[in-house]
């Protein structure tokens, strides 16, 4: 069965980001797709220290196993698509979520590549599009098709529960789910290779 993994990047377990992701998950379930919402939680998350140990071991895991990063890596192998949600802090996504994304995609890129993704930003008033754009950057480097909606994937709400009043925002979440279901159906049912053609990477640094 097709499965979408949704990651709640808010330290608040059932706040406005959870409401937005739950709307996506509920609609996907109605479309016959299995979902799971993974909580980032409120425990400390370390950033990447560029030690390259994950590349040396090549086991799809970060060398640091004391936070949620490797939990995400293990779940990624079983997922067909991803939706990451984050509250907006100072015009940017939650720093802990960004750290997890950067470490997980670097250590375990093979379990993310070529799988559809979407990001959702939840804010009080402004900064959502900047946060949304920042979240998209890493995934666009791993050949991952981006699922869009009828508008930018933004939901508004400050205190926990207010997001449920954002009628257009929740409709945007449902449309996102419909589009993801449609894309996954196309990928699963069409007679196409698992991956498109690719060339061997030819990196070129500006300073040689």
Domains assigned to the chain: 3-189 (3.40.50.360)
pLDDT for the residue numbered 208: 63
Long-range CB contacts (< 8 A, 24+ apart) of 75-79? Answer: 75/5, 75/36, 75/38, 76/5, 76/104, 76/108, 76/111, 76/112, 77/108, 77/111, 78/3, 78/5, 79/3, 79/4, 79/5, 79/36, 79/111, 79/115
Q: How far is CA 169 from CA 9, 21, 24, 89, in A?
A: 18, 11, 11, 19
pLDDT per position in the chain (208 positions), as tens?
Answer: 999 999 999 999 999 999 999 999 999 999 999 999 999 999 999 999 999 999 999 999 999 999 999 999 999 999 999 999 999 999 999 999 999 999 999 999 999 999 999 999 999 999 999 999 999 999 999 999 999 999 999 999 999 999 999 999 999 999 999 999 999 999 988 777 878 888 998 888 887 6
How far is residue 21 CA from its own chain's centroid?
11
């Amino acid at each position: 069965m097709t499965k979408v993994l949704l990651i709640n990047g808010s330290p608040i377990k059932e706040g406005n980001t959870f409401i937005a992701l739950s709307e996506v998950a509920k609609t996907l379930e109605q479309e016959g797709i299995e979902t799971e919402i993974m909580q980032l939680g409120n425990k400390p998350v370390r950033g990447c220290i560029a030690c390259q140990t994950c590349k040396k071991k090549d086991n799809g895991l970060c060398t640091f196993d004391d936070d949620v990063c490797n939990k995400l890596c293990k779940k990624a192998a079983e997922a067909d698509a991803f939706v990451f949600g984050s509250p907006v802090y100072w015009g940017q996504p939650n720093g802990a979520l960004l750290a997890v994304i950067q470490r997980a995609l670097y250590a375990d890129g093979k379990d993310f590549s070529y799988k559809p993704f979407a990001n959702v930003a939840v804010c009080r008033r402004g900064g959502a599009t900047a946060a949304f754009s920042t979240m998209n950057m890493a995934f666009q480097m791993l050949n991952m098709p981006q699922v869009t909606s009828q508008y930018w994937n933004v939901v508004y709400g400050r205190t926990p529960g207010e997001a449920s009043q954002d009628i257009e925002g929740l409709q945007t979440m449902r449309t996102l789910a419909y589009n993801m279901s449609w894309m996954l159906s196309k990928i699963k049912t069409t007679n196409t290779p698992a991956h498109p053609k690719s060339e061997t990477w030819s990196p070129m640094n500006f300073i040689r």
